[in-house]
Amino acid sequence: MAKMTPRQRVEAALRGEWADQIPFTVYANKLPRCQVELELRNAGVCVLERRSVVRVETPNVRVMSFGYEERGVQFTRRVFNTPCGELSTIERPGIGTTWRVKRMFTKPEDYAPLLALIKDQRYAPDFDTFLKTREDLGEGAYLRAGIGYSPLQEIIYTYMGVECFSIEWAERRDEVMRLYDALTEDRRKIYPLLAQSPAEIINYGGNVSVEVVGKARFERFILPHYNEAADIVHKQGKLLGSHLDGNNRQLAPLVAGSLLDYVEAFTPPPDCDMTVAEARELWKGKVLWINFPSSVHLSGVEAVENTMRCLLTEAAPGDRFLVGVTEDVHEDAWRKTFPAMARVLNESGRLPLQR
């Protein structure tokens, strides 16, 4: 087989076709521009760019942002003036991420303005930006579109936070369900746009913590949204997956019966509770796109190389399998461990893999 470009490897694996070797992807925000990054790209690493194919407007909600500093730390405060009242958030930048200091919902009086904000959201295609970015980045990168969180996850992680959500779920569940129903209709505005977009694959939420939502709520409130979206985008030849980077053992049978085409950011032990071999056995026909366990990077190059070889053995023969980095890795580690991963994949990742 002729040598493939990084993008071609990703495309082949996602389609269930044979690539020349196991693809190695790294989120763009986990790979700072530097000499090591250049060497990794030359070694075949594919930079994964997450780009939207839709834009959102809120014609009846005025949004204002204010930057300020406290004790040497920069913060951004956003104020949302809705027809039903005011909401605000406070965020501060982290390394490759943003930390929420204050979420939008903090008290029962916030239900009305939050519901007004959700109902005011309007979506339109933004395909040209996606296409231009894909052309500019070339064969060394792959672009993935996304929907954002499913309704329940949006309420938990974007609007309320786990503690606040738990209180509201216990004391004012009817109000929470009004938000859930409004977000369900909101997401349904997005699905057809994604189906018609130039994106080949679409991530739908994820970050599901079974310890928080439980198996029953996952089945009732989260999985149906994945299936509904998948049914729509499949008609246009798109693939749908989810960022399931937590403990998946309890959820695995439900995922197996879902319409998800791929599971992205799947994290094997020692970080989470399900092995690659178990996932490959249970999720036959689905693409497994793993996140190399972040904790192993702290154990040094030899541990990373040994773990990578073990993962390849579990993944054999290697079809529908990709290795990725989707989570933070310590600044002192990645410059040595990412090249170690690339070396093992280039030496031992030729397809088909041998056990």
pLDDT at position 167: 98
pLDDT at 111 over 90: yes
> What is the amino acid identity at position 253?
P
> What is the amino acid identity at position 82?
T
Q: Facing residues of 354 across strands?
A: none
pLDDT tens per residue, range 226-247: 999 999 999 999 999 999 999 9
pLDDT tens per residue, range 307-342: 999 999 999 999 999 999 999 999 899 999 999 999
Name the pTM for this structure: 0.96
Q: Rounded to an integer, what distance in angstroms lies between the CA atom of residue 263 and that of residue 245?
A: 9
CB-based burial label for 339 (10 Å; 0-12, 13-18, 19+): middle
pLDDT at position 2: 85
CB-based burial label for 236 (10 Å; 0-12, 13-18, 19+): exposed
Q: Rounded to an integer, what distance in angstroms lies between the CA atom of residue 184 and that of residue 182?
A: 5
25 backbone dihedrals φ, ψ, rounded to 5° = -115, 150
Mean pLDDT of the chain: 97
Buried b or exposed e, range 287-321, using 16+ CB within 10 angstroms: bbbbbbbbebbeeeeeebbebbeebbebbbebbbb
Decide if 270 contacts 244 (C-beta within 8 A).
Answer: no
pLDDT at position 119: 98
- pLDDT-derived band at 61, boundaries 50, 70, 90: very high
pLDDT at position 355: 78
pLDDT at 67 over 90: yes
Pairing of strands 201-206, 24-27: unpaired
pLDDT at position 199: 98
Rounded mean pLDDT, 28-35: 95
pLDDT at 96 over 80: no
Helix (H) or strand (E) holding 290: strand 287-291
Decide if 225 contacts 258 (C-beta within 8 A).
Answer: no
Q: What is the CA radius of gyration of the chain?
A: 21
What is the residue whose two structure tokens read 């693409």? 287
Of the candidates 256, 205, 263, which has an alpha carbon nearest to the alpha carbon of residue 239? 263
pLDDT at 11 over 90: yes
pLDDT at position 1: 80
Half-sphere exposure of 55 (CA within 13 A, CB side): 8
Of the candidates 308, 299, 302, 304, which has an alpha carbon nearest to the alpha carbon of residue 348? 308
Write out the DSSP string of 82-120.
ETTEEEEEEEEEETTEEEEEE-S--SGGGHHHHHHHHHH
Of the candidates 178, 278, 197, 285, which has an alpha carbon nearest to the alpha carbon of residue 241? 285
pLDDT at position 263: 99
pLDDT at position 128: 97
pLDDT tens per residue, range 205-220: 999 999 999 999 999 9
Using a pLDDT cut of 70, give the percent of the chain over it.
Answer: 100
Q: Rounded to an integer, what distance in angstroms lies between the CA atom of residue 229 and that of residue 210?
A: 22
- pLDDT-derived band at 95, boundaries 50, 70, 90: confident
CB-based burial label for 226 (10 Å; 0-12, 13-18, 19+): buried
Q: Rounded to an integer, what distance in angstroms lies between the CA atom of residue 54 and that of residue 125?
A: 5
What is the residue whose two structure tokens read 């569940």? 173
pLDDT at position 94: 82
Q: Facing residues of 24 across strands?
A: 323
pLDDT at position 97: 79
pLDDT tens per residue, range 262-299: 999 999 999 999 999 999 999 999 999 999 999 999 99
Domain 6-57+122-348 fold is TIM Barrel (3.20.20)
Rounded mean pLDDT, 111-134: 98
pLDDT at 200 over 90: yes
In the chain, domain spans:
6-57+122-348, 59-120
Rounded mean pLDDT, 94-99: 80
Decide if 87 contacts 110 (C-beta within 8 A).
Answer: yes
Decide if 197 contacts 51 (C-beta within 8 A).
Answer: no
Q: Rounded to an integer, what distance in angstroms lies between the CA atom of residue 56 and that of residue 67?
A: 22
Cα angle 342, 348, 349; round to 5: 70
pLDDT tens per residue, range 155-191: 999 999 999 999 999 999 999 999 999 999 999 999 9
